């Protein structure tokens, strides 16, 4: 294939007035197409969505349908029906001519000619956008109301009158741009698209359908979908595209598949290079889905020297957290599946648990959330069981089955799905979910499960309240100490020398005590031997301190006795000799008392120095380091908080030495009472659900799963009236 290189500083490639620069054509290679996009993105005129969509659509359909698809099917048949993905194509790169693109471009203008063009500085209205959508909708053939491959571009529409749901939204946005309504922008969630308009892009309108049905939502506002809590609308935090991001949406929509098990290399390379161009120009910074797709393409065929696919997955997650309050699920799924392919199962479980933390923000809607339901079901029933089966085949100390954090992430994953189910009119966790869940939990031994600290929201709130109260008390104590210190400082200036010395002594002791307490905070307080074996003192160095204090007190007692004897003898001698010189006797008694006090202080200091030398000698002796430090293990214990009502009820069952699998299965598949609650009735729509108390009774009975068929039948009958007939039949 020949390569044509063009300068990016040439004249603009389009003027949005129906005139296409013929010097840009023909396009004979991937580099020609990339240069065309570069001109459009770096020009002073905004990129023409119609032109770019027609170009890449023609290339995609030429390389993935017709002869190319037949060749892929033949290659698949030659492999004997193998499931291996084939990367290849026997069809040469199509030549994009000016006549072809200009003819289709003019056809699109003719279709939109029935819509009035705006007056200068006039913005679009809901009626105008609805009319553009009607024109496109009414020109589609009715069999295209299904999401099939290669129907998301304007070439498919202009050549065959076929579009999928995203294609209708893109065609409506491109049509408004072609008519001159520049305030109309494309809004994209993770499985849907609509249009926003207005000066600040706060008004929204549906222009297409979604899912398997062809319900006409066009003209409606999306506020109802946001209020329903559906994942489809991302809680109002969808990607609002600028023109460069709309070009990125065109590139993301490229479908590289030839058949179920074969991909087209040329289309994949074109998509990868276009996404890197948009990445370098900064148009993917607010587009998590595009970053994740680029990461997957780089994983298959790395083309960038400094940026890895793992970095791109992290950037997608950071984009979701920074710009959309972590309301996007797919970035975490991208990362988890990537780690799973690399056999980094610990990281994969953490990423999948993070995805469940996002999905818990929504309420399950059966028709709207079908795609994300399939993704999570595949993780729960296919990927995780396969990992468990692989890891349990051998006995290794580094296995994830010996990692309490992996078990905690597994619980967090299911907790998010259970909370997603709450307040939903349709249950999620049927028996097909419960069996793999029970199987996965039983893979972890009791000593691993018991290391996980499971908390409930009520416990966390109580701890936070206690911490806040302690902080208030500490602040009040510090304030009182500061006030007392200031009062002492004022007293020093007004009192006599004796009072000043007493105040100075108490003032000097206060900061010393605080300093000693601060220094003691970093010391080991509890004695490991006492905790593990029950012997010795409960606190570290307690015995040594007790011996030192006993020795010091005995020495001080002995010194005090000597001092008292000396004082008695000196006082008797003073009485015998004090007939004429009483003043001298008093001076001598004072001098003896001072000498005794000095001797006592010196002896005490010597004793303390001796004890410190003994401690220093003991510290210098070589000690045996024990790798199993119980305090370090306690600090490393994973802590999780369970928010869903179903997982809260499983807390005691999950940490039991012997798992009651029957009770766990019943608890997971039980239907929440709050699931039939009608929204907008004046009550809190996010009120926690309540589960039948029968499950708790079953869980509290040891061996309920063994020989307890009568109990199980009675339990099923007890909550059967609260479940629909279909669920009872299951």
- The reply to whether 365 and 240 lie within a common domain is no
Phi and psi angles of residue 339, each rounded to the nearest 5 degrees, phi first: -65, -35
Helix (H, G, I), strand (E, B) or coil at 185: strand
Q: Is the pLDDT confidence value at 504 over 90?
A: no
pLDDT digits (tens, 9 = 90+) for 275-295: 999 999 999 999 999 999 999
Q: Which among 273, 276, 286 is positioned nearest to 245, based on CA atoms? A: 286
- The reply to whether 369 and 256 lie within a common domain is no
The answer to the question of residue 292 being in a domain is no
The answer to the question of residue 334 being in a domain is no
The answer to the question of residue 531 being in a domain is no
- The reply to whether 252 and 374 lie within a common domain is no
Count the domains in the chain.
2
Domain C-terminal end among 672, 700, 720: 672
CA distances to 290, 310, 504 from 334, in Å: 11, 10, 67
Mean pLDDT of 455-459: 82
The answer to the question of residue 333 being in a domain is no
Sorting pLDDT into bands at 50, 70 and 90, what band is 457? confident
Q: Is the pLDDT confidence value at 576 over 80?
A: no
Q: What is the DSSP string of 357-396?
A: HHHTTS---TTTTHHHHHHHHHIIIIIHHHHHHHHTTS--
Domain C-terminal end among 262, 289, 314: 262
Higher-pLDDT residue of 156 and 566 is 156
Which residues fall within 8 angstroms of residue 226, CB to CB, at 6 or more apart? 233, 235, 236
The residue count for the chain: 730
Between CA 582 and CA 503 the distance in angstroms is 34
Is the CB of residue 267 less than 8 Å from the CB of residue 62? Answer: no
CA 194 from centroid of its chain's CA atoms: 26
- The reply to whether 248 and 370 lie within a common domain is no
Q: Is the pLDDT confidence value at 581 over 50?
A: no
CA 485 from centroid of its chain's CA atoms: 48
pLDDT of 185? 95
Q: How far apart are the first and last CA of the chain?
A: 59
Q: Which among 536, 545, 539, 514 is positioned nearest to 526, based on CA atoms? A: 539
Phi and psi angles of residue 48, each rounded to the nearest 5 degrees, phi first: -85, 110
Cβ neighbourhood burial of 184 (10 Å; 0-12, 13-18, 19+): buried
Scanning 281-378, the segments in alpha helix (DSSP H) are: 288-300, 309-324, 330-341, 345-359, 370-378
- The reply to whether 227 and 117 lie within a common domain is yes
pLDDT of 723? 37
Which two three-digit tokens encode residue 214? Answer: 């062809």
The answer to the question of residue 178 being in a domain is yes
Q: Kindly report the CA angle at 689 between 683 and 690, in degrees rounded to 5?
A: 120
Between CA 303 and CA 306 the distance in angstroms is 9
Between CA 428 and CA 420 the distance in angstroms is 9
pLDDT digits (tens, 9 = 90+) for 654-668: 888 888 888 888 888
Q: Is the pLDDT confidence value at 7 over 70?
A: no
Residue 358, CB half-sphere, CA atoms under 13 Å: how many? Answer: 26
Q: Where are the beta strands (DSSP E) in 551-677?
A: 639-641
Share of the chain above pLDDT 90, in %: 39
Helix (H, G, I), strand (E, B) or coil at 455: strand
pLDDT digits (tens, 9 = 90+) for 232-250: 999 999 999 999 999 999 9
If one counts every other C-beta atom within 10 angstroms of the C-beta of residue 452, the result is 21
Domain that holds residue 151: 18-78+90-262
- The reply to whether 22 and 150 lie within a common domain is yes
The answer to the question of residue 584 being in a domain is no
Between CA 130 and CA 220 the distance in angstroms is 9
Between CA 629 and CA 649 the distance in angstroms is 33
Q: Is the pLDDT confidence value at 36 over 80?
A: yes
Cis omega before residue 26 (within 30°)?
yes
Domain C-terminal end among 226, 245, 262: 262
The answer to the question of residue 446 being in a domain is yes
Sorting pLDDT into bands at 50, 70 and 90, what band is 477? confident
- The reply to whether 71 and 214 lie within a common domain is yes
């Amino acid at each position: 294939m020949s390569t044509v290189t063009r300068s990016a500083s040439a004249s603009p490639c389009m003027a949005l007035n129906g005139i296409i620069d013929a010097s840009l054509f023909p396009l004979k290679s991937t580099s020609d197409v990339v240069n065309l996009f570069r001109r459009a993105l770096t020009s002073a005129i905004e990129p023409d969505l119609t032109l770019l969509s027609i170009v890449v659509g023609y290339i995609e359909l030429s390389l993935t349908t017709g002869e190319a698809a037949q060749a892929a099917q033949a290659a698949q048949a030659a492999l004997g029906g193998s499931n291996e993905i084939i990367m290849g194509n026997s069809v040469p790169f199509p030549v994009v001519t000016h006549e072809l693109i200009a003819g289709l471009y003019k056809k699109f203008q003719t279709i939109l000619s029935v819509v009035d063009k705006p007056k200068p500085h006039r913005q679009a209205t809901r009626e105008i956008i609805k009319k553009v959508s009607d024109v496109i909708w009414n020109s589609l053939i009715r069999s295209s109301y299904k999401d099939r491959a290669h129907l998301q571009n304007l070439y498919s529409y202009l050549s065959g009158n076929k579009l999928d749901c995203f294609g209708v939204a893109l065609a409506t946005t491109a049509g408004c741009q072609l008519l001159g309504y520049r305030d109309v922008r494309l809004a994209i969630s993770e499985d849907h698209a609509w249009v926003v308009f207005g000066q600040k892009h706060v008004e929204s309108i549906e222009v297409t359908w979604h899912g398997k049905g062809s319900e006409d939502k066009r003209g409606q506002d999306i506020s109802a979908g946001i209020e329903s809590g559906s994942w489809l609308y991302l809680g109002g935090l969808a990607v609002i595209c600028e023109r460069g991001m709309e070009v990125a949406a065109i590139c993301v929509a490229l479908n590289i598949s030839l058949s179920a098990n074969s991909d087209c290399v040329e289309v994949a390379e074109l998509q990868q290079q276009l996404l890197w161009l948009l990445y370098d120009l900064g148009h993917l910074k607010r587009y998590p889905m595009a970053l994740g797709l680029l990461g997957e393409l780089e994983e298959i065929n790395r083309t960038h020297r400094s940026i890895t696919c793992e970095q791109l997955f992290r950037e997608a997650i950071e984009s979701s957290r920074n710009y959309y309050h972590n309301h996007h699920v797919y970035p975490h799924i991208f990362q988890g599946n990537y780690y799973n392919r690399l056999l980094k199962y610990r990281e994969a479980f953490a990423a999948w648990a993070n995805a469940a933390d996002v999905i818990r923000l929504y309420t399950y809607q059966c028709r709207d959330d079908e795609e994300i339901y399939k993704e999570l079901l595949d993780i729960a029933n296919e990927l995780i069981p396969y990992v468990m089966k692989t890891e349990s085949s051998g006995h290794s100390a580094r296995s994830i089955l010996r990692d309490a954090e992996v078990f905690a992430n597994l619980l967090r994953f299911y907790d998010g799905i259970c909370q997603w189910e709450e307040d939903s009119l349709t249950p999620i966790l049927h028996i097909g979910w419960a069996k793999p869940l029970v199987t996965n939990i039983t893979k972890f031994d009791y000593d691993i499960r018991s290391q996980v600290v499971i908390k409930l929201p009520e416990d966390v709130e109580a701890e936070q309240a206690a911490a806040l109260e302690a902080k208030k008390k500490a602040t009040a104590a510090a304030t009182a100490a500061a006030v007392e210190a200031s009062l002492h400082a004022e007293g020093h200036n007004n009192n006599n020398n004796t009072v000043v010395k007493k105040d100075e002594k108490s003032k000097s002791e206060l900061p010393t005590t605080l300093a000693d307490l601060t220094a003691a905070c970093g010391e080991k307080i509890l004695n490991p031997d006492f905790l593990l074996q029950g012997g010795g003192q409960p606190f570290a160095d307690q015995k040594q301190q007790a011996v030192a204090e006993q020795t010091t007190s005995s020495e001080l007692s002995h010194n005090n006795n000597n001092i008292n004897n000396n004082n008695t003898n000196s006082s008797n001698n003073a009485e015998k000799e004090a007939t004429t010189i009483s003043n001298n006797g008093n001076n001598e008694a004072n001098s003896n008392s001072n000498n005794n006090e000095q001797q006592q202080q010196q002896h005490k200091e010597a004793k303390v120095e001796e004890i410190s030398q003994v401690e220093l000698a003991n510290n210098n002796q070589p000690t045996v380091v024990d790798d199993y430090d119980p305090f370090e293990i306690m600090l490393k214990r994973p802590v999780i908080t369970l928010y869903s009502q179903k997982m809260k009820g499983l807390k005691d069952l999950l940490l039991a030495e012997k798992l009651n699998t029957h009770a766990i299965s019943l608890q997971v598949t039980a239907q929440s009472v709050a699931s039939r609650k009608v929204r907008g009735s004046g009550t809190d729509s996010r009120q926690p659900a309540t589960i039948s108390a029968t499950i708790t009774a079953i869980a509290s009975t040891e061996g309920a799963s063994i020989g307890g068929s009568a109990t199980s039948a009675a339990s099923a009958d007890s909550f059967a009236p609260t479940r629909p007939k279909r669920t009872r039949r299951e």
